[in-house]
Amino acid sequence: MLYFIEQSLNGVQLGMLLFLLAAGLTLIFGIMDLVNLAHGSLYMLGAYFAATFAAMTGSFIAGALLALIATLLVGMAVEVIAMRRLYGRDHLDHVLGTFGLILFFNELVRLIWGPAGMTLALPSEMLTAVQVLPGVYFPLYRLVIIVSTLAVALLLYVLVMRTRIGMLIRAGASNREMVGALGINIKLLYTLVFGLGAVLAGFAGLMQAPILTVQIGMGENILILAFVVIIIGGIGSIRGAFVAAMLVGLIDTVGRAFLPDLMRLFLSANAASTAGPAFSSMLIYMLTAGILVFRPEGLFPAATR
Amino acid sequence: MRKALLATAALLIITASPAMPQQKTIKIGFISTFSGPVAAIGNDMRNSFELGLDHNGRKLGGLPVEVIYEDDLFKPEVGVQKTQKLIESDKVDFVVGYIWSNVLLASLKPLVDSQTFTIVTNAGASQLAGELCSPFVFSTSWNNDQTPQAVGLYMNQKGVKSAFLIGPNYAAGKDMLEGVAATFKGQIVGRELTRWPDQLDFSAELSKARAAKPEAIFAFYPGGAGIQFITQYVQSGLKGQIPLYTAFTIDELSLPRLKDLALGIPGAQEWVNDLPNEANKKFVADYKAKYKSSPSFYGAQTYDAVGLIDSALKAVNNDMSKKEDLRKALEKADFKSVRGSFKFGPNHIPIQNFYLQDVVKQGDDYVLKTVATIVENDQDKHFQNCHMK
Amino acid sequence: MSRRFNTLNLLIAGVIAALALIPVYSALSGYPFLLSLFTRILILAMAAVTLNLIMGFGGMVSFGHAAYLGIGGYAVGILAKEGFNSGFLQWPVAVAASALFALAIGALSLRTRGVYFIMITLAFTQMIYYVAIGLDRYGGDDGMTIYRRSQFGGLINLSNRTVFYYLCLVLLLGTVYLVYRIVNSRFGLVIQGSRSNDRRMRAIGFPPYRYKLVCFVIGGALCGLAGALLANHTDFISPALMHWTRSGDLLVMSVLGGMGSVFGPVIGAVALLMLEETLSGLTEYWQIIIGPLFLLVVLFARGGIAGMLVGEHRG
Amino acid sequence: MSTVAEALLAVSNVETCYGLSQVLFGVTLAVVPGETVTLMGRNGMGKTTTVRSVMGLTPAMTGSIRFDGIEIRELPSYRIAKLGLGLVPEGRQVFPNLTTRENLVATAANRRNVSDPWTLDKVCALFPRLAERLMSMANLLSGGEQQMLAIGRALMTNPRLLILDEATEGLAPLIRAEIWQCLTRLKAAGQSILVIDKNVQALIDFADRHYVIERGKVVWTGSSRELAAVPEVQHRYLGI
């Protein structure tokens, strides 16, 4: 039983990471109706910036903060240079345009940081496990990820629901022209929203950096999962993204932990270890297909459109 | 009208690249991984190969050498594409390299079909030692399960009663876990294969290992993945509770980044930097002088490939067309290996000793030391199913 | 009107002539790699043409068309591993399996609209991608070598590179002609009609869902054949055949070539893959150029290369 | 016709097209500070297009639009609004996914720090029905309430010129009367207003001057008294 709790905590941690990515994606998609495949590249850049600045300043926290600022600037630059011309175009153009950006960013990172990839060393005090419950050990750093992501989720909720910027963002989503006619520079607002999306992706990247190596193309696999999350959750709905992220995180991790044992009953050890993780990944896509068939607009279809 | 002719003409120009000039050099195609978390391995192999050529006056069999390095990006489908390019487009005389068993297996057909002499300097796929052995393919490394078998023997010597095995889910990973299971006398309480190469988060597997309460854990994770595994092994607090045994995970490349995390984790290897023979002393000393870091077994195996090719070319005085004589010369392998004595089995896989290595802290840097010889003149157990006797 | 069509038809004739001459040219220049490069271009062009049938004419943006390349390839690979090397069995199975998969996911996906359709096709392809990774017997993530190409009982010897090249060329032109006939048939007109105005089509009595599904299945099945060819060409299959970035490449070829014309994607495939080959020869960082190029194509070359030549752009 | 110089808003022979079809063929009108002016005409004559051109939503091709002496024809709509033009658009267009209070507060501003700016309380005083509905989502409000909200939202930007496009369109007579009453109070407070509407009688009692537009051109202009004296103009151009 304790083992199940430990695995569910791992699932929650993956869910948190997915939420960070999905929140950025669904915010940008909900507001600007823009499919941004390059969101994974911003995740990668966040990790690279954090690794570089942490090495420079010698402190994890300073590295993280500088990384967030750098990712914000890159995000806004990308919006002004490339994304702004894509508004109003159909989604195929978005997919292709941002697909090109992925190739560009991967190669740019290789040019600047070289092919080998980097590591982001954790401060030594993080290198311990915490006894969350009697007999249940959980790495301290992963708790930090869960807690900090919850904080970000709260911050995001307050920003969108309680502040004027949040009101303008939601208003812009439903009637962009009218917000302009009331004296708000909607173009600038969109740049800020895109920058916010980039920061969320960068934050997810730098939080994940110490657990995975920072390498080119690290954003692409997780990007597909993030898209799955916003589709299940309902595009444009941050609440939906949170629920769906938890769902996907738990299914993937618990699936990866228990399916191989389950399959070992009727498959050889090796075959089970191969089929197990593959099947748990498939589970997520079956879930997606299943939900879309019955709820073509996701669980919490955004009310705005 | 004008635009259409222009487009067709452009099409033909692109394809009109010049025909290959035939000048007398030895062309070597080198396939390894130079990107991602395992790039350090590829770079170590390239450095050692270049060092070997320097020691040989940039010549093989007396002829100038041209080396074409290709990055397999860690993926079998890219490896096979680059292999085909080296054979058909660059028309190389030898292909050297291959870190990963899955990339090697994918590239075997084009290599054997084109009868290109290949020196595998790391990948030890069991199929290469067994049914897929070929007169044109030689290995200067080992077969995947020889090293873990040595670790299994060592765990028996230490009186370990039960073990939990963890490894990456690709050809070498499965071979490694098979290897330990073959020689380990105790009970295997768990066996986990993780998704390779993208899964570097082992929290689920480590929790499962803790739950199984084994007396020891065996793990195999090469390159950057090894650093991740050991970091997370320490992070989860398992280090004090359950001892860890490894193969190909702690080496001169990962040690500088693992530092004291690696202390007290033994491993087995067919080459360690302090082997007492002349060739090895020169290799290690010159490598440190030139590259300011110490070589790993990946490098040592690649350095030997230079000596092997040079000795064979001299025996047939560079006549690449005499394939049969070149094969016999390569099989004789009369060159000074950094491992001391070096001889091939009938399936072109080396027969060699395996040593126990441990991490020792000298001053403020960490070094791998030979502690004991686990097994001598060990031969892989697949050579019977190879058609070459 | 005639001047513009003349340009595009001339380019098509020029491209076909050039493709026909490649083996001769490659033999003369002693540069065999060229033959295998262009064989791959022909096969991927065929896949792009089948995608264009679904996307360019059917209006269904499938972000998972590489699934059929994978299914076709694995059909050949699995049958070869189990000892069935006859092409007469492998290729029909490849086409049938792709058609079945297309029917299954098409029936479900066509219930969604717009970006949800793009995402659900992506999700289904990721699903079959992980199935391939899970197939431990057929190499799982490491892929599997095919030791004997499809045998056609002495009729066609696929191991002969030139014969295989011309077979691919014939099949490509056959596919283009088939798609051309479909698009201009009554069925094709209904498909194009429902692309622009779904409601209007329903109003005059055509069930667009069923027409679109049939079109989706035809596209998938034909692409399965391209998958079988690809497996024979590379003598190796791996889940990477259907990685989502492969689907992205097919999308680019279709749009770059020009979705408005049946032959457009062939031009797109030749242009993209030639560009990749020459650029990667010049610099290791060639993707820094190709990436932004996709963006520029999307922003400015509305009709793709074919569109520009026909002057659709200037129209 | 007041001289153009001290006019708050001066539109002179403006032409606007939607794509290839031209709608305005040289519209000229002016509003003097503190004055209430109407723009009347049958449907499709270019009333809303004139408003959209003034607000920069559908930029005019030629002609000049000056506000407080500044040429605004080429400016983006947010810069025009910032100068002090408050738009109550046709169809109200409140933000459905925001609460009533959020609709009012989101775009509120006091750019010219007017001494006694519009506040939430002042708007609620003007429109008591809004006071009870502050917390409910805007899409749950009735047509009349949404109209009041749209007017309140524009007022919260403290505009120098309030533009109302079909402000009483489709409302019940009782609600319509309430709206006119509020507008009259605004006029009394010195707010300059440009009203686009159809019920001529209400406009005659309420506004100072009128423009009548026919097929994209101003065909008649004059004071309320003069308009009352020319029923044939009302009949021919306004279909009464």
Least confident of A254-268, C110-124, C186-200, D194-208: A254-268
Chains that touch C (3 or more CB pairs under 8 A): A, B
Question: How far is residue D170's CA from residue A176's CA, in Å, rounded to a whole number?
Answer: 25
H helix or E strand, kind and range, residue B3: helix B2-15
Question: How far is residue A30's CA from residue A184's CA, in Å, rounded to a whole number?
Answer: 19
Task: Closest CB to B76: pick one of C17, C32, C143.
Answer: C143
Residue A191 pLDDT > 50: yes
The residue with tokens 């657990």 is: A211
Q: Which domain holds residue D43?
A: 1-84+161-171+195-240
Q: Is residue B15 part of a domain?
A: no
- Is the Cβ of B199 closer than 8 Å to some Cβ of chain A? yes
Kindly calculate the radius of gyration of chain A based on its CA atoms and give it in whole angstroms: 20
User: Mean pLDDT by 10-residue block, N- to C-terminus, for chain C (315 residues)?
Assistant: 67 88 86 87 95 91 94 94 90 96 92 85 90 84 87 85 92 94 90 81 83 94 96 91 91 88 92 87 83 87 75 43
Kindly calculate the radius of gyration of chain C based on its CA atoms and give it in whole angstroms: 19
Q: Is residue B51 part of a domain?
A: yes
Q: Does one domain contain both B336 and B253? A: no
Q: Identify the pLDDT of residue D2.
A: 45
Q: How confident is the model at residue A302 (pLDDT cuts 50, 70, 90)?
A: low
Given B236, B269, B302, the domain boundary residue is B269
How far, CA to CA in Å, does B94 sit from each of B30, B42, B118, C104, C181? Answer: 9, 18, 6, 48, 51
Chains that touch D (3 or more CB pairs under 8 A): A
Q: Does one domain contain both B80 and B128? A: yes
Which amino acid, one-letter code, is at C16? I
Question: Could you read off the pLDDT of A75-122 as tens digits, one per residue?
Answer: 999 999 999 888 878 888 899 999 999 999 999 998 899 887 787 877
Q: Which domain holds residue B201?
A: 146-269
Question: How far is residue A226's CA from residue A29's CA, in Å, rounded to a whole number?
Answer: 12
The closest of D17, D13, D114, C10 to B5, measured between CA atoms, is: C10
Q: Is residue C315 part of a domain?
A: no
Q: B–C contact (≥3 CB pairs within 8 Å)?
A: yes
If one counts the domains in chain B, the total is 2
Residue A171's closest chain D neighbor by CA? D95
Q: Is residue B373 part of a domain?
A: no
- The CATH number for C164's domain is 1.10.3470
- Count of residues in chain B: 389
Q: Does one domain contain both B131 and B246? A: no
Q: D–B contact (≥3 CB pairs within 8 Å)?
A: no
Q: Is residue C148 part of a domain?
A: yes
Instruction: For residue D54, list chain A residues with Cβ-Cβ distance below 8 A.
Output: none
Q: Identify the pLDDT of residue A133.
A: 76
Task: Closest CB to B201: pick one of A137, A140, A212.
Answer: A212
Under 8 Å between Cβ of C225 and C99: no
Query: Order of strands across the sheet with D192-196?
Result: D85-88, D161-165, D192-196, D36-40, D209-214, D217-223
Question: Could you read off the pLDDT of A165-179 as tens digits, one per residue?
Answer: 999 988 887 888 899
Q: Identify the pLDDT of residue B317.
A: 83
CA–CA min distance A76, chain C (Å)? 17
Question: Could you read off the pLDDT of B257-299 as tens digits, one per residue?
Answer: 788 888 888 888 889 888 889 999 999 999 999 999 889 999 9
Q: Does one domain contain both B243 and B284? A: no
Instruction: For residue D55, list chain A residues with Cβ-Cβ distance below 8 A.
Output: 181
Q: What is the DSSP letter of A129?
A: E
Q: Which domain holds residue C210?
A: 2-310
Under 8 Å between Cβ of D203 and D217: no
Q: Does one domain contain both B90 and B158? A: no
SS3 A91: helix
First-to-last C-alpha distance (Å) of chain D: 25
Question: How far is residue C302's CA from residue C256's CA, in Å, rounded to a whole number?
Answer: 9
Q: Which residue has the higher pLDDT, B239 or A38?
A: A38
Kindly compute the dihedral angle of the four CA atoms of residues B202, B207, B211, B217, in this order, to the nearest 10 degrees: 30
The closest of C234, C261, C202, C203 to C48, measured between CA atoms, is: C261
Under 8 Å between Cβ of A272 and A256: no
Q: Identify the pLDDT of residue A305.
A: 36
- The CATH number for B89's domain is 3.40.50.2300
Q: How confident is the model at residue D37 (pLDDT cuts 50, 70, 90)?
A: very high
Q: Does one domain contain both B203 and B242? A: yes
CA–CA min distance A224, chain D (Å)? 29
Residue A274's closest chain C neighbor by CA? C134
Q: Identify the pLDDT of residue B4.
A: 56
The answer to whether the Cβ–Cβ distance between C234 and B14 falls below 8 Å is no
- Please spell the DSSP secondary structure of B131-200, one letter per residue: TT--TTEEESS--TTHHHHHHHHHHHHTT--EEEEEEESSHHHHHHHHHHHHH--SEEEEEEEE-TTT--
Cis preceding linkage at B21, omega within 30: no
Residue C104's closest chain A neighbor by CA? A289
Task: Closest CB to C10: pick one of B4, B17, B89.
Answer: B4
- Is the Cβ of C196 closer than 8 Å to some Cβ of chain B? no
The answer to whether the Cβ–Cβ distance between A35 and C252 falls below 8 Å is no
Residue C251's closest chain A neighbor by CA? A96
Which are the contacts of C179, defined by CB distance < 8 A and separation ≥ 6? Answer: C49, C50, C52, C53, C222, C262
If one counts the domains in chain D, the total is 1
Residue D6 pLDDT > 90: no
Q: Give the burial class of B379: count Cβ atoms within 10 A of its Cβ; 0-12 exposed, 13-18 middle, 19 or more buried.
A: middle
The residue with tokens 């067994």 is: B130
Size of interface B-C (CB pairs under 8 A): 91
Which are the contacts of A62, defined by CB distance < 8 A and separation ≥ 6? Answer: A53, A54
Q: Identify the pLDDT of residue D240.
A: 62
CB count in 10 Å sphere of residue A290: 12
The answer to whether the Cβ–Cβ distance between B35 and A139 falls below 8 Å is no
Q: Does one domain contain both B137 and B281? A: yes
Question: Could you read off the pLDDT of B37-61 as tens digits, one per residue?
Answer: 788 899 999 999 999 999 999 998 8
- Is the Cβ of B75 closer than 8 Å to some Cβ of chain A? no
Residue A303 pLDDT > 70: no
**What residues of chain C, 134 to 163, have a C-beta less than 8 Å from chain B?**
140-143, 145, 147
The separation between CA B364 and the C-alpha centre of its own chain, rounded to angstroms, equals: 29
If one counts the domains in chain C, the total is 1
Question: Could you read off the pLDDT of A199-237 as tens digits, one per residue?
Answer: 999 999 999 888 777 888 888 878 888 988 988 888 878
- The CATH number for D221's domain is 3.40.50.300
Q: Identify the pLDDT of residue C164.
A: 92
Structure token pair of residue A69: 């600022």
Q: Is residue B166 part of a domain?
A: yes
Q: Identify the pLDDT of residue C154.
A: 79
Q: Does one domain contain both B288 and B265? A: no
Q: Does one domain contain both B295 and B237? A: no
Question: How far is residue A99's CA from residue A95's CA, in Å, rounded to a whole number?
Answer: 6
Residue D102 pLDDT > 90: yes
Q: Does one domain contain both B94 and B108? A: yes
Q: Is residue B356 part of a domain?
A: no
The residue with tokens 């040595």 is: B150
Question: How far is residue B273's CA from residue D174's CA, in Å, rounded to a whole number?
Answer: 97
The closest of B37, D1, B55 to A214, measured between CA atoms, is: B37
B/e letters for C132-153, b = 16+ CB within 10 Å, e = fewer, are bbbbbebbbbbbbbbeebbbbe
Write out the E strands in B242-325: 244-247, 267-269
**What are chain A's domains?**
12-294 (1.10.3470)
Q: Is residue B19 part of a domain?
A: no
Alpha helices in chain D (DSSP H): 47-54, 77-82, 100-106, 120-126, 128-132, 143-155, 173-188, 200-206, 224-228, 231-238
Question: How far is residue A38's CA from residue A22's CA, in Å, rounded to a whole number?
Answer: 13
- Is the Cβ of B174 closer than 8 Å to some Cβ of chain A? yes
Write out the E strands in A22-147: 129-133, 136-139
Q: Does one domain contain both B319 and B221? A: no
Under 8 Å between Cβ of C294 and C272: no
Q: How confident is the model at residue D3 (pLDDT cuts 50, 70, 90)?
A: very low
The closest of A183, A292, A226 to A40, measured between CA atoms, is: A226
Q: Is residue B287 part of a domain?
A: yes
CA–CA min distance A183, chain D (Å)? 4
Q: Is residue B313 part of a domain?
A: yes
User: Mean pLDDT by 10-residue block, N- to C-terminus, for chain B (389 residues)?
Assistant: 53 48 77 84 93 92 91 86 89 93 91 93 90 92 89 89 90 86 90 77 82 91 85 81 89 83 85 89 93 91 93 86 89 89 90 88 84 88 87
First-to-last C-alpha distance (Å) of chain A: 45
Average pLDDT over residues A256-263: 79
The answer to whether the Cβ–Cβ distance between D96 and A303 falls below 8 Å is yes
Q: Identify the pLDDT of residue C305.
A: 80
The answer to whether the Cβ–Cβ distance between A296 and C116 falls below 8 Å is yes
ipTM: 0.81
Instruction: For residue A82, list chain C residues with Cβ-Cβ distance below 8 A.
Output: 295
Q: Does one domain contain both B240 and B285? A: no
Question: How far is residue B63's CA from residue B60's CA, in Å, rounded to a whole number?
Answer: 5
